[in-house]
Structure 1
Amino acid sequence: MVLMAACCRTPLSLSTKLYNNKPPSLSLPLKPSPILFLRSHSSPFLHSKSHFLKHNSLSAHAPVIRASNDAFCSSETDKLSSDVRNRILDAVDLCGRKVTVGDVAGKTGIKVDEAQKALQAVAADSDGYLDVSDEGDVLYVFPEDYRLKLAAKSVRIRYEPLVEKTKSAADRAVRFAFGATLIVSIVLVAAAIVVILASKSDDDGKKSKSKSSSSNLFFLDSSPNTFRWLDALEPQADSNGMNFAEAVYSFVFGDGDPNQDFEEKRWKLIGQYIASVGGVTTAEELAPYLDVTTKAEKNDEGYILPVLIRFDGQPEVDEEGSILYQFPSLQRTASAGRRGKGLTKGTDKVVQNEKFMRENYWNFSNTTTHQKVMVVGLGVLNNLGVFILGALLRDKEVVKIGYIRFVSYIYPLLQIYAVSYFVIPFFRVIFILKINADIKRRNQAREQHAQGLELPDMSLRRKLQNARDMAKGNVVGNKKVVYSTKEDSIYQNLEADEWDRKLSRGRNLKVRGIIKIAKMKSIGNNSVASFGQDIDAKELEQENSDSGIGEN
């Protein structure tokens, strides 16, 4: 009767917005229309779970508005960077589409708050749902076809592969064009030198003109044997995957930063290590993955602050007065197989292979020896030709010739290309020598920290043991789910009286706050509810006090 009365109280003007013609669904929407959000923060009836459910539950025959059907909703996933989104999706797949924020942060190395926002965005756009355990932990669950749903809703995801292919093709075109310019420069300079020398001969004008014409014909001859030496420009890759034109670019500009993904790899490895040891670690264990080059830096443990900020960690003091670092978010997992006291078998392989973070040294060029000889030889030939051409162009009479006039116009560009061909690599050598020295120093420091963990002294051994004793795993998937956005709230009203009785005694404040926010968010907000770590017990106690609910 109460439910019928509640349905009757629904204004007729809202009925067309609340319901559609689709068949009933058991899934509560993550992002329904904002018009459903008709509550007051100060309404006292919201503090009673049963009353809240009675007044806000949809009818058993009322279909549920899915997040993907919200006409006014833009894709939340499009607000994420491509790198973060792809790493989040890979982590979700790796964990079997059931994850906690700690699972994702630990496997990707992304900041905890950033991972939480990303999971909420993906869940909102893929019809995922959230389970809240009886201890207030949140589990994100995604459907099997969640990637297809994301692609259907996000224009960016659909066209991103095409954009990446276009960027790759443009990058390769630039490399090829720079290498081909070397051959073009050699041909232009050689032709100009021949024309100038022919025009200065002692023969008569007709003979000179004939020779000049024959010279031009020589360089424009279409005989297949004339330009046999230009076959190197054809896109035939060498053993390193480069053709000649790309080898020229590699010689001049190099092949990019070999540690481009170093930071991503570093934080991913740190997150995996912390999760594998139960969420409690020491500063000495993380030193092999950080940049701790001096003894003073190691003693004050200030280098651990970036890790605490990224993974929501906090310092703890053991019984012996040693400082340990606990990461509660990384202790919550969806599956018992992803955590354990000490190293698990899967993580043991990762940690054993990466006992410390090793930076890669910069190489001058990835070209082969044969390619280097050709690139340097043709570069010297081009510079010599440009130098000779410059001396010949000082004769003003020569510049009057049509072809030579054109070459004189572009001669400054030929000079810039010829000079930069060897000047840029020269400065690159100086830069590489300096940066490789710094990399060697950091690698040696990290290796020394790793060796110290293999043979720890008695004090460090006790500290490590205390960290393992304090570590604990919190498997959300094995706990009782007290609220889920997958089901209509009408089906979750069965235990309302029992929960009212518990909550009226002031117990489980965190769980109560999480469930209340989950329901309100799932009924009327434009994004998936933000639970768990954002609940402050003090604020909930104040809320209980304002509502007249106190502890017995």
Structure 2
Amino acid sequence: MAPDPRIMTAVEQLGYRVTVGDVASKAGLNINLAQQGLLALASDAAGHLQVAESGDIAYLFPKNFRSILRNKFLRLRFQEWWAKVWRVLFYLIRISFGILLLLSIVLIVLAIGIILMSLNSSNDNNSDRGGGSRSGGGGMIFMPHFWIGPDIFWFFDPNYRSRSQQRRASSRTSSRNEMNFLEAIFSFLFGDGNPNAELEERRWQEIGTVIRNSQGAVVAEQIIPYLDDLGEGYKREYEDYMLPVLSRFNGRPEVSPSGEIVYHFPELQTTAQEQHPQPVAAYLKERLWRFSQASSGQIMLATGLGAANLVGALVLGSLLRGGEIAAQLGGLVAFVQLIYPILVFYGIGFLAIPLIRYFWTQWKNGQIEQRNQQRQQEAVAINQADAALQKKMSYAQQFAASEVIKQEDLVYTSEKDLLDQELERKDQIDAEWQKRLESDS
């Protein structure tokens, strides 16, 4: 079984010496999963167990444990290789929609140009056969003049080239992380992914941090700002929403003399090294969806090109009506007529998908803002605790504790041979025996 990446990241962030509680609170993992994962990681990555006199266990890992695992597990090497390949593939997928848009516009413009030149030539032949003469330029029909090369957008906007030069000049002094135009097309169409894809992971990490900062003893009101769906009626009154928290971090409820419930998490009270309270948000804040991370200029350009593409497709459709022209001209025009339904479908979809997504984003953000506001109100209630809540929190502090497993507290470590450890601790063992003899006498 390949090690859990969340556990490996937590071990690195905590300095390679951890307890089960350290990892569970840092990564927001279930206590049992954290324990099983640490045992598996220690076994596979040449880690060591350190046992304190209290019976608590710390896990010590070499700083190059990822290299050890990489050499041992083919699956991990494949995952790293696939992650690199997928970044390239996904980039190609993203820019493909912009390339398709440009190809669609080019095909439509070329087909319209060929058809108009054919019609113009046909009219000229008919005029010559009728004995008429053409005045200078009188029979000419306007044809768009454009260059099919790296920069074709100026055909649709005469001022594009100057603005493009200005953007390139300003981009040298602005952030270099701004997406290019082809990436902006994908962002305009489909957005940039779910901003709350890791919401559950953040939720449990923040809850674990709150419990650890409170030294393993909390009241339900401290956890509510990080939860959803608290229930109604007796479910909220009896704090049923705390059951998943107790299950994940192996906690237990404690009842005060006045009948109020506090929650005690013994396994989060043991740590491998001294830790100060960690910063944590006052409540779980969901991030709002953005329509697109592309710049406003890129969005306007994408909209303009999409509109031009659709209008061009409709004009082309009117010229291709009946199919006689395509049959006569063949070649590119015949090919464009063959794929014409695809061009129209793409043109409509290019504008319809962002429009639908825009209204969906507004609706989704309304729900997110409502949930954030509810959690914020719960966080404010904690800061403005009344006398009853303060008494409840004071009772919870009776169970608060923090135990650090120090090197001098160790009675066994798998780093050294057991006989060597006993020789090193000879004086300590003799002192303990002497103390017991004196107490018995």
- The normalised TM-score by structure 1 is 0.66
The equivalences for 1:60-79 within 5 A come to 76=1, 79=2
Residue of structure 1 aligned with 2:259, choices 321, 325, 329: 321
What's 1:453 paired with? 382
* Whole-angstrom CA distance in 2 between matches of 1:154 and 1:290: 37
Q: Is the 8 A contact 1:103 1:332 kept in 2?
A: yes
Partner of 1:191: 110
CA distance in 2, matches of 1:134, 1:483: 9
Out of 174, 180, 200, the position equivalent to 2:93 is: 174
Match among 345, 358, 361 for residue 429 of structure 1: 358
| 1:134–1:479 contact (8 Å) kept in structure 2 | no
Q: CA deviation at 1:165?
A: 2.2
Matching residue of 2:325: 398
CA deviation profile, 1:318-369 (whole Å, cap 9, x unmatched): 222111111121111112x22xxxxx4x41xx13xx1111111111112222
SS at match of 2:293: coil
State yes or no: 1:439 paired with 2:368: yes
Moved more, 290-299 or 176-185: 290-299
Instruction: Give, in angstroms, the shift of residue 222 of structure 1.
Output: 6.5
Deviation at 1:162, TM superposition (A): 3.4
Deviates more, 1:157-166 or 1:247-256: 157-166
Is residue 303 from structure 1 mapped to residue 241 from structure 2 by the alignment?
A: yes
Which of these residues, 16, 29, 38, is aligned with residue 110 of structure 1? Answer: 29
Distance in 1 between the 2:32 and 2:127 partners?
Answer: 83
Amino-acid identity (%): 37
Partners of 2:398 and 2:149 in 1: how far apart? Answer: 81
Deviation at 1:458, TM superposition (A): 0.9
CA contact (8 A) 2:146 2:152 kept: no
Name the residue aligned to 2:178.
241
Deviations 1:200-240 (A, max 9, x none): 33122899xxxxxx99x9889668887755987xx977866
Report whether the alignment pairs 1:266 with 2:203.
yes
2-structure distance, mates of 1:223, 1:147: 48
Q: Does 1:365 align with 2:292?
A: yes
Tell whether the 8 Å contact from 1:292 to 1:445 is kept in structure 2 after alignment.
no
Structure 2 residue identity aligned to 1:413: I
Equivalent residue for 1:20?
none
Q: Distance in 2 between matches of 1:293 and 1:389?
A: 58
State the match for 2:132 in structure 1: none
User: Pairwise mapping of residues 249-264 of structure 1 onto structure 2 (< 5 A)?
Assistant: 249-264=186-201
Correspondent of 2:311 among 374, 384, 387: 384
User: Are the aligned partners of 1:133 and 1:482 in contact in 2 as well (CA < 8 Å)?
Assistant: yes
Contact in 2 for aligned 1:179/1:249 (Cα 8 Å): yes
Question: Equivalent residue for 1:282?
Answer: 219
Instruction: Measure the CA separation in 2 of the matches of 1:294 and 1:102.
Output: 29
Q: Tell me the residue number matched to 2:119.
A: 200
- 1:451 shift after superposition: 0.3
CA spacing shift, 1:205–1:227, aligned 2, 3 Å: farther
The match for 1:148 is: 67
Q: CA RMSD in A?
A: 3.2
Instruction: Report if aligned partners of 1:293, 1:445 keep a CA contact under 8 Å in 2.
Output: no
Residue-pair matches, total: 398
8 Å contact kept, 2:51–2:410: yes
Pair 294,310 (structure 1): closer, same or farther in 2 beyond 3 Å:
closer
Amino acid at match of 1:442: R
In structure 1, runs of 5+ residues without a counterpart are 1-75, 208-213, 339-343, 503-552
TM-score, structure 2 normalization: 0.81
Deviation at 1:445, TM superposition (A): 0.8
Aligned equivalent of 1:71 = none
